[in-house]
Amino acid sequence: MGLLAMKKTPRRSKEDKIFDLINIFLVAIMVILVVYPLYFIVIASISNPDMIYEGKVWLLPKDITFEGYQRIFSDSKIWLGYKNSIIYTFVGTLVNVSCTLMAAYALSRRDLYGRNLIMFLFLFTMFFSGGLIPTYLVVKDLGLLNTMWALILPKAVAVWNVIVARTYFQTSIPNELLEAAKIDGCSDAKFFWKIVLPLSKPIVAVMVLFYAVGHWNSYFDALIYLNNEDLYPLQLILRNILIQNEASTQMMSDIDSLAAKQRVSELIKYGVIIVASIPLLVLYPFVQKYFVKGVMIGGIKG
């Protein structure tokens, strides 16, 4: 059997082997370009900044120190930003996923009167928006400024996600299932909660990941709508540290030398990037098994 299998295996030509080597080389280059900057941030966050300036930190950390992380976690602003971001992400994702799935399921039903017109109005907003100033005036007139709802309600539904979820419902939930449920006396609401949602775990996981990542990484809306620093999300605090070099005075209150402050500031910059990325790295493995399936099924056809 072994000899027979070897005879049936086609021999690869020299050109095929060269092609494979080129592919492996290109993929390796792409992986290095993507992974190495992330790896460098990790090792730089625990390395002596002087070694980084001298170009001695390449593959392994030098003069390992956790001073940056110690100062980060001793700052109340970081913990406050963490708390705010977790609240915004949890509440915002809950609102987003609820509105998106209900809208997508309604638009996937063939018996919804005027669904094509409603879908056109949804699509229209993808090409034409009111702009920043009108949106700000609307948020202001609604009394949402300096509240968490200013970061949640204006973007409660993403049209693209509605289209993806609607396509998933159309391709994965057969009409015969609805007809059988109605024969048993099941209402539309009960059918949605008891049957559709349990069968839609892949697309629900995809929506949760999309929206959660968007909320967690968002800082621009907070920059526009929030003036109270007690409401700042973590990403806005991170922006102030990275771009404006506004490391909290509490982090470096015991340092007098300007050179020492600059040294610690570099450690804090790298460390905050890692600290801000941890929640998403923890979340992703739990939805990974649904992610590819949900995206592929939801993107078959409109």
- Dist CA 71 CA 272 (whole Å): 10
Task: List the structure tokens of 278.
Answer: 């941890």
Query: What percent of the chain stands above pLDDT 70?
Result: 84
- Dist CA 111 CA 109 (whole Å): 5
Task: Write the single-letter amino acid at 247.
Answer: A
Q: What sign has the CA pseudo-torsion 134, 140, 143, 145?
A: positive
**Would you tell me how many other CB atoms lie within 10 Å of the CB of residue 188?**
15
Tell me what the mean pLDDT of segment 206-230 comes to. Answer: 88
Report helix, strand and coil shares of the chain as percent, to nearest 5: 75, 0, 25
pLDDT in tens, 234-251: 888 887 776 655 554 555
Radius of gyration over alpha carbons of the chain, in Å?
A: 26
Of all helices (H) and strands (E), which one includes residue 164? helix 159-172
Nearest C-alpha neighbor of 89 from the set 181, 223, 219, 270: 219
Lowest mean pLDDT among 58-62, 143-147, 169-173, 258-262: 258-262
Provide the pLDDT for residue 3: 46
Task: List the structure tokens of 53.
Answer: 């300036």
State pTM to two decimals: 0.77
Chain center to CA of 300 = 23
pLDDT in tens, 165-211: 898 888 888 888 888 888 878 888 888 888 888 888 888 888 888 89
Confidence band of 302 (pLDDT split at 50, 70, 90): very low
Q: How many CA atoms, within 13 angstroms, populate the side-chain half-sphere of residue 15?
A: 0
Provide the pLDDT for residue 296: 61
Query: What percent of the chain stands above pLDDT 90?
Result: 12
Task: List the structure tokens of 252.
Answer: 């470096």
pLDDT in tens, 82-111: 899 999 999 999 999 999 999 999 898 888
Q: At what angle do helices 76-108 and 201-217 cross, to 10 degrees?
A: 140
- Dist CA 147 CA 137 (whole Å): 15
Nearest C-alpha neighbor of 147 from the set 230, 43, 40: 230
Sequence-ordered list of residues with C-beta below 8 angstroms from that of 221, at least 6 positions apart, any chain: 150, 151, 154, 155
| Residue listed under structure tokens 């309604």 | 106
- Dist CA 124 CA 119 (whole Å): 9
Q: What are phi and psi of 299, to 5 degrees?
A: -110, 20
CATH number corresponding to 68-298: 1.10.3720.10
Q: At what angle do helices 159-172 and 115-127 cross, to 10 degrees?
A: 140
Sequence-ordered list of residues with C-beta below 8 angstroms from that of 67, at least 6 positions apart, any chain: 264, 267
For residue 53, pLDDT over 50 is answered with yes
Task: Write the single-letter amino acid at 99.
Answer: C
Per domain, the residue ranges of the chain are: 14-67, 68-298
Q: At what angle do helices 76-108 and 159-172 cross, to 10 degrees?
A: 50
Query: DSSP string of 34-61?
Result: HHHHHHHHHHHTTS-HHHHHTT--SSS-
Chain center to CA of 185 = 40
Task: Write the single-letter amino acid at 41.
Answer: I
Comparison of pLDDT for 41 and 10, the residue scoring more: 41
